[in-house]
Amino acid sequence: MFGLDRTTRILLRAAVASLSILTLAQQASAQTLRMWTFLDPASGKDPRERVLKKLIDQFEAANAGVKIQVEPQVWQQMTDKFLAATQTGTAPDVMWVHLRRVPDAIKLGALANLDDLFAKKWSKEEADDIDGSFWRFSAKPGAHYHITHSRSNVGQFYRADLFREAGIDPKSLTTWDKFVAAAEKLTVRGDNGVTTRWGFGQAFATDGANNSVVFSVMLDKNGVIFDEKNRANWATPAGVDGLNLQLDMIRKWKITQPGAVNEKNDDLYDQFNAGRFAIIRGASARIPRAMTALGADKVGFFGTPSFTEGKFSPAEVAGWSVGVWSGSKQKELAGKFVEFMSSKEADRLWTMEGGAVPIRKSTVKENAAFFADPKNAYLADVAAAMLEAGWFPPDGAGAGWNEELNRAAQDVLTNKTDTKAALQKAEQSYNRAHRL
């Protein structure tokens, strides 16, 4: 054949055979729904992964010939990968989009209208059951694009066992003064002056940053962190007060570890589990994992204190918005699966077995005994903090504000930069990155 030797001919035949097998496999998987999520149902390490596996099994059993193919992704890059894949026509049928990026996905036309797929068929009762600020986020008249799962709120994780030992009621820590006093009480120093336990663990690394104290203080005092053109507006008296409060926890009260300057959120969770921190600032979605490590009776959650008695400071809500790719050739089927994953039965599983905040009001009403159990009390605490002080990023806001605010904190601690100057530098960097 064209003077090619035997080995070459074998290689060419093998290539042709592989292509044929691939084509056949593609035809055979016509009823396969692809889904990108950070959960890996095959792993089952996280309670939510086990719930997802159960739901997939149930859906496949109820829909003969349908297979849900989960392609686990790295959460940090998953949404961007999806946005890129929509343009190359390779996006999955079902997608979990970071809540903060939902407006981007909608502007790009990447998400299908769920009203057209299933939501407009809902009874009023069913629509009311799921209605709320998450459902309305980025919605337009007659168009909803996502159902937010794994809802989370930044707040304070606390070691319930250490609080009990110290006789501190976490619900009493509603103001910063009380919070600092409690953290001082929880900080333990050895005879040699070495701190063996810090009252309040913080992390100011710029990679994968969470809302810091300054963020909540600015929202508490000013109500906004961006101006009307979505430009960062941080070098204000509220910003200076907030950053000073955050850093005085290291400099003045010595309740936060000095290493916070370059520690990451994951370090916080590790050290919290190790008993080195009594309180940390974290995302509530991580509570079930901490409970798995420590025991449900040792972990609790409370909202961010404020300067006003009995009121939480705002903190950003987060979550994973599940939607259907607008370019999917199986939109109806994908919609059916998204609806199934958000059904009453599924929400009960997500909540009671996965440790997730419920997305339906009926889940709370119909499972009162579950929520009354002290080991599940954190779900009510998270929901309360979310309802009272949950902050959704404004439409058109960029990204990276947590990282820039942490950079300002590093700048003050490391370079001894003036607090206001550090905030000015951070807001300039943010505005420049977003061409504002």
Site for another protein, rule CB under 8 A? 2-5, 8, 11-12, 15, 76-77, 80, 83-84, 87, 104-105, 107-108, 192-194, 204-207, 257-259, 261-264, 267, 270-271, 274, 276, 398-400, 403, 407, 410-411, 413-415, 429-430, 432-435
The nearest distance, CB 396 to another protein, in angstroms, is: 11
**Closer to another protein by Cβ: residue 45 or 171:** 45
Rank residues 153 and 257 by Cβ distance to another protein and give the closer one.
Answer: 257
User: Which is nearer to another protein, 127 or 421 (by Cβ)?
Assistant: 421
Name the minimum Å distance from CB 388 to another protein.
29
At its nearest, how many Å lie between another protein and the CB of residue 19? 13
Least separation, in Å, of the C-beta of 286 and another protein?
Answer: 18
Nearer to another protein, 39 or 261 (CB): 261
- In whole angstroms, the minimum distance from the beta carbon of 272 to another protein comes to 11
Of 271 and 330, nearer to another protein (C-beta) is: 271
- Minimum gap (Å) between residue 217 Cβ and another protein: 21
87 exposure class (CB count in 10 Å sphere: 0-12, 13-18, 19+): exposed
Residue placing its CB nearer to another protein in the complex, 294 or 433: 433
Closest separation between CB of residue 373 and another protein, Å? 32
Residues in CB range of 36: below 8 A, 6 or more apart: 71, 72, 73, 78, 81, 82, 91, 92, 94, 95, 96
Q: To the nearest whole angstrom, how small is the minimum distance from the Cβ of residue 14 to another protein?
A: 11
Q: How far is the CB of 46 from another protein (least distance, A)?
A: 19
Q: Is the CB of 205 or the CB of 299 nearer to another protein?
A: 205
Axis-axis angle for helices 237-251, 176-186 (nearest 10): 10
Name which of 221 and 231 has its Cβ closer to another protein. Answer: 231
Give the residue with the Cβ less far from another protein, 108 or 294: 108
User: In the complex with another protein, which residue's Cβ is closer, 254 or 311?
Assistant: 254
| HEC string for the chain | CCCCCHHHHHHHHHHHHHHHHHHHHHHHCCCEEEEEECCCCCCCCCHHHHHHHHHHHHHHHHCCCCEEEEEECCHHHHHHHHHHHHHHCCCCCEEEEEHHHHHHHHHCCCECCHHHHCHHHCCHHHHHHHCCHHHHCCCECCECCCEEEEEEEEEEEEEHHHHHHHCCCHHHCCEHHHHHHHHHHHCEECCCCCEEEEEEECCCCCCCCCCCHHHHHHHHHHCCCECCCCCECCCCHHHHHHHHHHHHHHHCCCCCCHHHHHCCHHHHHHHHHCCCEEEEEEEHHHHHHHHHHHCHHHEEEECECECCCCCCECEEEEEEEEEEECCCCCHHHHHHHHHHHCCHHHHHHHHHCCCCCCCCHHHHHHCHHHHHCHHHHHHHHHHHHHHHHEECCCCCCCCCHHHHHHHHHHHHHHHCCCHHHHHHHHHHHHHHHCCC
Token pair of 361 as six digits: 């009001």
Q: How far apart are CB 60 and another protein at their closest, in Å?
A: 32
